[in-house]
Chains A and B, each alone.
Chain A
Amino acid sequence: MLEEHLARIAEREGEIHAFNLVTEDLARAAAQAVDERVAAGEDPGPLAGVPVAIKDNLCTRGVATTCSSKILEGWEPPYDATVVTRLADAGAVMVGKTNLDEFAMGSSTENSAFGPTRNPHDTSRVPGGSSGGSAAAVAAGFSPISLGSDTGGSIRQPAALCGVVGVKPTYGTVSRLGLVAFGSSLDQVGPFAATVEDAARVCEVIGGHDPADSTSIPSRFPSVTDQLDEGVQGLRVGIVTEMTGEGIAPDVAARVRAAAEALAAAGATVEEVSVPAVTYGLSAYYLVAPAEASSNLARYDGVRYGLRVDAPTTGEMMVATRTEGFGDEVKRRIMLGTYALSAGYYDAFYGTALKVRTLIRRDFDAAYERFDVLLSPVTPTTAFPLGEKTSDPMAMYLSDVCTIATNLAGHPAMSVPYGVGDDGLPVGVQLLGPTLGEVPMFRAAAALERSLA
C-alpha cells in the first residue's frame, strides 16, 4: 500500500508540490513496524499501514516543522502533536509534511515561503487553503487520508476545491497540543479523506480528551463510523439563507440545491433557515483571529529557535528576524491584530468581535432548535487560477465567507464533494452541526455520498 502511494508521489509531486517534505525512509520504517506487529499477532490498529500526509503546522518529533515560513528555518520539534501520536498508535504511516499558507493564513496555499501548491484537477488553479497541500495530497492519491487545521475554513475550503471530504470537528474534540497556533480559540485539527467513512474513522482516532490541552472536551469523540448507514429518514435539514444568496456562483448554488434534493429524496425534511448573525462572521473573524495571531506569533523573535538575523541590539535583532522571516500576509495580520488589541481600541474592535461571536452562537442555537443539520455552499466558486486573488486580500478573505461562522461558534462542519461546476472542477457542499453534533452531520454526509454513487 505504501509503495503504491510513494510511486504516485514520485510521479506527480513535481507539478503539484503538495509536500514541504516527503518522509520516505521514515514511512518505510513505520510500515515495516506495522508489518511486524501483524506478524507478531498484535492488533496493528484501525489504520494499520494507511499512508497519511500531515500538514506542516503539526509538530513531528525530529522532523522539520516549518509552517511554510522562513522564520522556523531548521527547527525540528522535540515532540509529536497528540494527533500525530494517535495516528501512529493506530498504525497509520506518515508519508510527509504538506504545504500550507504561511502559519495557516490564507485561502490558496500561495502564501507559502516554499512556493504554491497546485490543484491536482487543474494545475493552473489553486487547491484552496490554508491546508492546500493536505487536500491536494488526497486528491492526487498521494495518501488516502491527511490532516489539516481549520481556523476559518482551512480544511473545508481546500477540500471543496480539490473534491475530497474535509472535516472540522467541534472545537475541543481534537487536541491542539502540537498544532502550531494561529487563532487559538478557533483552530481545530481535522481530516481530509477520499470517503466519508475514512474521514469518520480518522476523527475517531485523533479525537477524544487530551489532558494536555486545557480546552479539550473531557469525553470520547462521538462514535460516527458505525452510524454512517443509518440514513437521514426524518432528519431535519436547514438551508442557510444568508449563505446561499448573493456572491455565490450559480453553478455552486445549483450543486447545493441538488444536495438538498438528494437529502429530501432520502427522507430528510429540508427547509430554509435564517441565521442572521453569520453575515457579521467575516468582520468578527478578522479581528479575533489576527488578535490571537499577533500574540501567538510573538514568540518567533530569533532568540531561541528558527531564523535569527543578527543586528547590533536584541531589539533590532528581533525586528530584523521578523522582517526577514515573515511573509506579507502574516505581517498584515499581526499588524491588524496588534491594532485591534491596542489600548483605546480593544472595546471597539476585539470586544465587539467577542459580542458578535456570542450573537452567532445564539443565532445558530436558535436554528438548531428546529434543525439537526444545516446545509450551505463551502466556497463561493470552484478553484480559482493561481495569482487571481493574491493582490486583493479582501477578495481572498471572501473565499471563507461560508466557513468562518462555524469556527466562531466552535461548531463542527464538513465539506462533502458534490459534483462539478460549469468548468468541470469539483464543488463541495457544507454540512454544519451544533456542538458535538457530529453524528447527524456524518449521517447526512454519507447519504450525499451514496446519492452520487
Chain B
Amino acid sequence: MLKAKHGILVIALMAILALAGCSKSDTITVGSKDYGENILLGEIFAQMIEANTDLKVNRKLNMGGTFVNFNAMRNKQVDVYPEYTGTALTATLEMDVINDPTESYNIVKDEYLRQFDIVWLEPLGFNNTYTLAVTPEIAEKYPMETFSDLAEFAPNLIFGAEHEFFDRQDGYDGLIEAYDLHFKGEPLKMVVALKYQAIGQGDMDITDAFSTDGQLRQFNLKVLEDDKGFFPPYHAAPIIRKATLDAHPEVGEVLNRLAGRLSDERMGELNYQADVEGRPTEEVAAEFLKAEGLI
C-alpha cells in the first residue's frame, strides 16, 4: 500500500510541475483582451512572429479586459498584446484627454517606457474609438446625430455596457458628466460580446460601441458623433515588454512591418468576417497576412 501512496505523491509532484509550466526563453507569450478585434490582432501578431522568426508563440488570447492584460504584462506573464493609445492615456495612465493622435501616441510611448519598461511599437493604422450606438428604430423615434442631441432623449433610453466601461476615466461616469446625460433606470452591465445581442433584442437601447465593430454593420446601428470630443483617439499598436524586446529585437522588427497596414475600413471588414460571419480567427488573420505579403 505504501507503493500506491508513493505513486500518488509522485504524480502529484509531476502535476505541480506541469501546472507551473516550464517557461522557455525562446517562447513569446501573446495576450489579448476578450473581444473579437483584440483577439484577431493578437492572432495576427502571433502568426507574424511564428512565420518570420525562429521563436515559438504561446497564445493567451481572450483574456479579460485592459487591466488584466496590462497587469499580466507587468507580472511578466504576457510579452505582447494589442493596446490603444486612448485607453493607455486615460484609463491606465489616468491623464486627461488629448485629442491629437500624434501627441497622445508620443506621450503614451514615453510614459509607458519610463514608468513600466513597456515599449510601444508602430501604430497599426486605425482608430477604434469608443462611440455610442443605437438601433435604427430608436434613431427614427428620437432623431439625434450627436452625443449632445442625446441629452434630450436619454431619460427614455436604457444604457448598457461592459463592466470595464463603468470603471474607466474615459468611461460612463465621465461621459454622463460631460454631456449631462441621465439614462433610464440603472445601466446594464455585461461582458463585451453580449452588448450587441442585448441591443438587438431590445433589452437595452443604447450602448458604448467600438467604432470598428463588425456588429455595427450587422445590426445596422446608428453611431452618434462625439461633438465635444470627450473620447480621445484610440490608435492601436502592439505593446511589448522592454526586456522581451531587448532579448529578441526581431520581434519588434517583425511586428513593425504591420505599421499602417490596417485602415479603419480594413479592420472593420476583418472584424465583420470574424465576429459576424463567424469565420475562424486563425483563418481571417492568415488570409489578411498573406494578402499583405507579410507571411
Chain B associates with chain A: no
Q: Which residues of A line the B interface, CB within 8 A?
A: none
